[in-house]
């Protein structure tokens, strides 16, 4: 079991100065994993520190790592991080500890700095890739407020008994920065059903979890073991074609309305980095179900993540005028009815085999307040009330050229805040 340790020490500062800037997404205490291509074009594993990437292939070649940390770096040397995830969280934790020591400005021995300096690649000069091969993508429905707003005030019967989900499409998960093509499909227009470009294109602000070690087919795991199967987290934009979705979803759920694209942020913020930001799960109403296999004291007291989440829209007109993106959503991940430990445990509870690199998404992260509505379907009250952006432009749904930008950060008064980086995607015409 990994607990708080010296890598979370808020006093630690790095000799990589950009990591010490107040509000930096990637300070010493974060050290998220990703896959990047540098000048040589070869995709390999890296760890973000400030505005730099530590190239794990070069770092291992430099002989600065030992034991499990070296094994973890070797597992992160290829074009996907699945081998690292498969090793288990203890290996990634050893690498995190070694990197934290090597990057520590207070480290007495400075002899490694020149060598480690040659392993640094500026993030702006690298191309970030999908961090893992995603074999399966599952999208959950964990926000009561989102569910009520989209279902006209009625919770589905199972909502409080289990984290409702559907099997999403893994092949169309794309990394931040990839343009998203407006899908074609069938939807209602008045009384008629037509085929054409989706008129009601939406985003959904979600948080993702990557499965680390998996479980064998037919062998579920307990809620207490769920953390051991969770490697880390990312931002997810579950793009949604509402016209297609709302017409096709009875009775089997979403299909083409979701499967055209899902965007994720490129860095995996490890579950270990997020330990200081664990908080109590949402308190359930008296009389709500407490399914035994999805209930524990630890989960109730520390199962949730305190993440501040934001969504922005950058329109072509804003871009042309040099304006900042318009904020449209500010929400908290604390308002989810289910925790990721419950989602993983439920997912495997029938014996389904989760695999390293599988992606589980939380569902739209809306809260009760108007500002926390985390998709346009909620913000525009199912398309009936256009939203005014900061520059006066109106949006009911996304238009071609609009870019959606998601951000997340975690704060605690006793720890250094950490961020997720961004998840971005521009809508392009499908015509």
What are the catalytic residues?
Answer: 146
Write out the binding residues for Ca ion, residues 383-402 only, by CB under 5 A.
none
Write out the binding residues for Ca ion, residues 273-332 only, by CB under 5 A.
none
Rounded Cα distance, 1 and 289, in Å: 29
Stretch that binds Ca ion, among 21-29, 135-143, 265-273, 286-294 (CB under 5 A): 135-143
Rounded Cα distance, 144 and 156, in Å: 10
Q: Which is nearer to Ca ion, 59 or 142 (CB)?
A: 142
- Is the distance from CB of 209 to CB of 340 less than 8 angstroms? yes
Q: Which of 204, 272, 310, 402 binds Ca ion (CB under 5 A)?
A: 204
The residue number with the shortest CB distance to Ca ion is 238
Q: Which of 139, 145, 198, 393 binds Ca ion (CB under 5 A)?
A: 139
DSSP letter string over 155-192?
Answer: --TTTTTS--EEE--STTEEETT--EEPPEEEEEETTE
Write out the binding residues for Ca ion, residues 224-263 only, by CB under 5 A.
238
Strand partners, 427: 180
Among candidate residues 296, 283, 318, 303, the one with its CA nearest the CA of residue 395: 318
Q: What angle is formed at CA 425 by the lines to CA 328 and CA 48, rounded to 5 degrees?
A: 100
Q: Which is nearer to Ca ion, 238 or 272 (CB)?
A: 238
Under the criterion CB under 5 A, does residue 104 sit at the interface with Ca ion? Answer: no
Q: Which is nearer to Ca ion, 229 or 258 (CB)?
A: 258
Among candidate residues 93, 148, 30, the one with its CA nearest the CA of residue 421: 30
Stretch that binds Ca ion, among 71-79, 200-208, 278-286, 287-295 (CB under 5 A): 200-208
Among candidate residues 199, 389, 214, the one with its CA nearest the CA of residue 313: 389
If binding means CB under 5 A, how many residues of this protein chain bind Ca ion?
3
251: preceding bond cis by omega (within 30 degrees): yes
Tell me the closest approach of the beta carbon of residue 139 to Ca ion, in angstroms.
5
Q: Which is nearer to Ca ion, 56 or 241 (CB)?
A: 241
Tell me the closest approach of the beta carbon of residue 206 to Ca ion, in angstroms.
6
- Is the distance from CB of 53 to CB of 287 less than 8 angstroms? no
Q: Which is nearer to Ca ion, 100 or 342 (CB)?
A: 342
Tell me the closest approach of the beta carbon of residue 254 to Ca ion, in angstroms.
8
Token duo for residue 372: 């926390």
Q: Which is nearer to Ca ion, 139 or 358 (CB)?
A: 139
Tell me the closest approach of the beta carbon of residue 363 to Ca ion, in angstroms.
5
State the DSSP code for 310: E
Tell me the closest approach of the beta carbon of residue 235 to Ca ion, in angstroms.
13
Stretch that binds Ca ion, among 52-60, 197-205, 289-297, 418-426 (CB under 5 A): 197-205
The percent of the chain in helix, strand and coil, each rounded to the nearest 5, is 25, 30, 45
CA atoms within 13 A on the CB side of 106: 8
Under the rule (CB under 5 A), what is the footprint of Ca ion? 139, 204, 238
């Amino acid at each position: 079991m990994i607990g708080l340790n010296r890598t979370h020490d808020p006093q630690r500062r790095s000799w990589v100065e950009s990591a010490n800037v107040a509000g930096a997404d990637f300070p010493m205490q974060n050290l998220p994993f990703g896959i990047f291509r540098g000048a040589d074009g070869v995709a390999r594993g890296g760890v973000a520190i400030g505005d730099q990437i530590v190239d794990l292939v070069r770092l291992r070649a430099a002989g600065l790592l030992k034991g499990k940390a070296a094994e973890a770096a070797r597992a992160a040397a290829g074009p996907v991080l699945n081998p690292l995830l498969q090793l288990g969280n203890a290996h990634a934790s050893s690498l995190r500890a070694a990197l934290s020591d090597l990057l520590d400005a207070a480290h007495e021995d400075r002899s490694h700095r020149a060598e480690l300096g040659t392993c640094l690649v500026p993030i702006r000069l690298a191309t970030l890739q999908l961090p893992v091969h995603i074999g399966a993508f599952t999208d959950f429905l964990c926000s009561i407020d989102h569910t009520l707003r989209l279902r006209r005030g009625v919770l589905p019967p199972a909502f409080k008994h289990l984290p409702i989900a559907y099997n999403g499409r893994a092949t169309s998960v794309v990394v931040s920065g990839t343009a998203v093509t407006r899908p074609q499909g069938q939807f209602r227009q008045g009384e008629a059903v037509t085929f054409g470009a989706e008129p009601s294109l939406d985003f959904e602000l979600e948080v993702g979890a990557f499965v680390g070690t998996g479980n064998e087919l037919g062998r579920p795991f307990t809620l207490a073991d769920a953390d051991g199967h969770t490697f880390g987290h990312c931002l997810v934009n579950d793009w949604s074609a509402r016209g297609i979705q709302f017409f096709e979803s009875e009775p089997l759920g979403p299909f083409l309305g979701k499967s055209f694209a899902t965007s994720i942020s490129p860095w995996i913020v490890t579950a270990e980095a997020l330990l200081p930001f664990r908080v109590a799960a949402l308190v359930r109403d008296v009389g709500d179900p407490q399914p035994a296999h999805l209930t524990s004291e630890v989960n109730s007291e520390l199962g949730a993540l305190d993440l501040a989440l934001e969504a922005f829209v950058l329109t072509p007109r804003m871009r042309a005028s040099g304006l900042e993106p318009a904020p449209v959503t500010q929400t908290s991940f604390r308002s989810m009815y289910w925790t990721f430990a419950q989602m993983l445990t439920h997912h495997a509870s029938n014996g389904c085999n989760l695999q390293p690199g599988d992606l589980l998404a939380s569902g739209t992260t809306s809260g009760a307040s108007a500002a926390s509505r985390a998709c346009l379907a909620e913000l525009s009250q199912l398309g009936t009330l256009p939203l005014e952006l900061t520059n006066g432009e109106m949006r009911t749904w996304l238009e071609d050229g609009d870019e959606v930008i998601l951000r997340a950060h975690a704060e605690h008064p006793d720890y250094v805040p950490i961020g997720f980086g961004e998840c971005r995607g521009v809508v392009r015409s499908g015509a």
